[in-house]
Structure formats: structure tokens, C-alpha cells
């Protein structure tokens, strides 16, 4: 019973932390808009980019337009994606971003921090992507093309990258037509950098490596890894397709800093071993991050 209570308390704290991340992410995105993107007329992608273009002609508040433009997409997401978690967290992210975007205009410099388009593209993209990554870490979405991309993925099997490419291409074309093609090209830089920043914040630096080792001395190699590096090793059954000889494969996960160490250890026991090293996004369990239940 005590374990159940502790789990519920932990989930409640994690949920509260997620909502704080949602609001923080929305704030960072809004700061990127007001400090770099809006003053330089650089497009950020999605509904906010459309709102930027409209705002440049009639002065309508960007935040209000973002909120209104997301209403039909939010309804589609509710209909096809479903779930209270999607509805509440996405609603919080959209509302917070809209409010921050329209309130920061009163305290931020109207001309932004710089008139240099390169600096605005780089730092605006980094900040906007970092905010987006925080929203993703909190298991939310920023609305707009995120919702559309997920619907197309789940309902039509269209890859989300293709959906983003389609919507972003249309937005860049609109920017080129209504503003200038130079600004549209800079907008492409913003979208690319923001995508990289969002991925980095969401998944963290890829400091983990998966290692597959095929050796004639699997027992010696695995013992050396477990003794020196204190990393667990899984022995997989393997067979050479050409020789037909059965030879186990060793599988383990190490940090980036341990890659050279494991190479040296393997070489010391079997110089003819075959090693494959790959990236790992995340490792959960003993020796790495604690495995916790997801928030529903």
C-alpha cells in the first residue's frame, strides 16, 4: 500500500514538473519570437509563422492569431488523437505561448537584440527550438503543424518529417511571396536550427553507445568488460552465415567516454574481434537512468 501511495505522489510531482516545463518552453519560444524572429521578419514555422505574415500587414496581435488558428487544429487533434493528456497539455502550451507572445511585446525592445539576420537566424532558431524541446519533454505539443503531422502519421501513415516538410515549404513560399525570398531563405535556416535544438533538448546529447562484439573468446571479453568497466553484458546466440560456425555475440551499453576503454579491453583479449558501435538515445535500468512509469 505504501508503495502505491509513493508512486502516486511521485507521479503527481512529475506531472506538476511537466506543466512547469510546458510553461517554461512556451516562454522561451515567445522570447525567441520577440527578441529575434518578429523584429527580423524571420519565419518560425507553423501557425505562428502565418500569424507573423498577417501581423506585418495589419498589426493584429500574433498571440491572438496563434490561439485562434490552433482552435480547428486542436479540435482535429481531440477527434483523431484523443486523450485528456493531449488535450490539456497541448491547450496549456498553446495558451501560454499566445499569452507570452502578446505580453512580452510591452517589455521587450521593439527592434529586438540585433539587426543582423544571421545572428537572428541562429539565436532565434536555437531559442525557439529549445522551447519546443521543453514542450516535447513535458509530453505536450505546440499545436499547429505538430498536430497536423501526428494526424497524418496516425491516420494516413505519412511520415511526420514529410508532413513538416510539406507545411514548412508552403510557409516559406508564402514568406517569399509576401516578404522577400532572402528572408524566406533565412527562415529555412531558422527552421533547420530549431529542429536540431528541439531534438537536442528532447533527447539530450547522445552520450550513450551500444556495442556489439563478435569474438572467438567471448567469455574472456565479457568477463573483462564486467570486471574493469563494471558494465553488464548480454550474450546473444549467433552463427556465421558463410562459415556456419556458431559464435555468440556480446551486447552492452556504455558511455561515450568508455568507448576507447572497451576497444582496448577487447583488443587485449582478442585482436581479431569484430566490433560494431552505434548511438543510443536513452538507457533505462541498472547502471543508467532509473526506469519510471510514464505519465498518462
3-state secondary structure 200-242: HHHHCCCCEEEEEEECCCHHHHHHHHHHHHCCCCEEECCECCC
For residues 165 and 27, the answer to whether their CB atoms sit within 8 Å is no
For the segment 12-51, what is each residue's pLDDT rounded down to a tens digit?
A: 666 788 889 999 999 999 999 999 999 999 988 888 889 9
Do 212 and 111 reside in the same domain of the chain? no
Do 219 and 146 reside in the same domain of the chain? no
pLDDT of residue 7: 39
Q: Is residue 218 part of a domain?
A: yes
Q: Is residue 285 part of a domain?
A: no
Q: Which domain holds residue 15?
A: 2-203
Do 140 and 176 reside in the same domain of the chain? yes
Q: Is residue 89 part of a domain?
A: yes
Cβ neighbors of 186 (< 8 A, separation 6 or more) are 40, 42, 117, 118, 120, 121
For the segment 142-197, what is each residue's pLDDT rounded down to a tens digit?
A: 877 777 777 776 676 665 556 667 777 888 888 889 889 999 999 999 988 988 89
**Domain harbouring 243, CATH code:** 3.30.70.120
Which pTM was predicted?
0.73
Q: Is residue 214 part of a domain?
A: yes
Distance of alpha carbon 7 from alpha carbon 15, whole angstroms: 12
Amino acid at each position: 500500500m505504501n508503495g502505491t501511495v509513493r508512486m502516486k505522489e511521485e507521479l503527481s510531482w512529475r506531472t506538476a514538473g511537466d506543466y512547469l516545463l510546458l510553461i517554461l518552453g512556451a516562454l522561451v519560444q515567445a522570447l525567441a519570437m520577440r527578441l529575434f524572429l518578429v523584429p527580423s521578419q524571420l519565419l518560425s514555422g507553423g501557425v505562428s509563422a502565418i500569424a507573423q505574415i498577417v501581423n506585418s500587414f495589419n498589426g493584429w496581435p500574433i498571440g491572438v492569431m496563434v490561439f485562434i488558428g490552433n482552435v480547428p487544429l486542436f479540435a482535429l487533434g481531440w477527434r483523431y488523437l484523443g486523450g485528456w493528456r493531449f488535450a490539456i497539455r497541448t491547450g496549456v502550451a498553446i495558451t501560454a505561448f499566445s499569452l507570452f507572445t502578446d505580453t512580452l511585446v510591452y517589455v521587450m525592445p521593439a527592434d529586438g537584440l540585433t539587426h543582423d539576420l544571421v545572428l537572428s537566424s541562429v539565436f532565434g532558431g536555437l531559442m525557439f527550438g529549445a522551447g519546443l524541446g521543453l514542450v516535447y519533454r513535458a509530453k505536450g505539443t505546440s499545436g499547429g503543424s505538430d498536430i497536423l503531422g501526428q494526424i497524418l502519421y496516425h491516420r494516413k501513415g505519412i511520415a511526420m518529417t514529410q508532413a513538416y516538410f510539406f507545411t514548412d515549404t508552403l510557409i516559406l513560399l508564402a514568406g517569399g511571396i509576401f516578404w522577400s525570398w532572402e528572408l524566406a531563405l533565412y527562415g529555412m535556416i531558422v527552421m533547420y536550427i530549431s529542429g536540431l535544438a528541439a531534438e537536442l533538448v528532447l533527447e539530450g546529447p547522445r552520450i550513450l553507445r551500444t556495442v556489439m562484439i563478435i569474438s572467438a573468446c567471448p567469455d574472456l571479453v565479457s568477463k573483462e568488460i564486467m570486471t574493469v568497466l563494471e558494465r553488464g553484458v548480454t550474450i546473444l546466440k549467433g552463427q556465421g552465415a558463410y562459415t556456419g560456425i556458431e559464435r555468440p555475440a556480446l551486447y552492452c551499453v556504455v558511455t561515450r567516454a568508455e568507448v576507447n576503454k572497451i576497444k582496448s579491453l577487447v583488443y587485449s583479449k582478442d585482436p581479431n574481434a569484430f566490433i560494431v558501435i552505434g548511438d543510443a538515445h536513452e538507457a533505462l535500468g541498472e547502471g543508467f537512468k532509473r526506469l519510471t512509469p510514464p505519465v498518462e
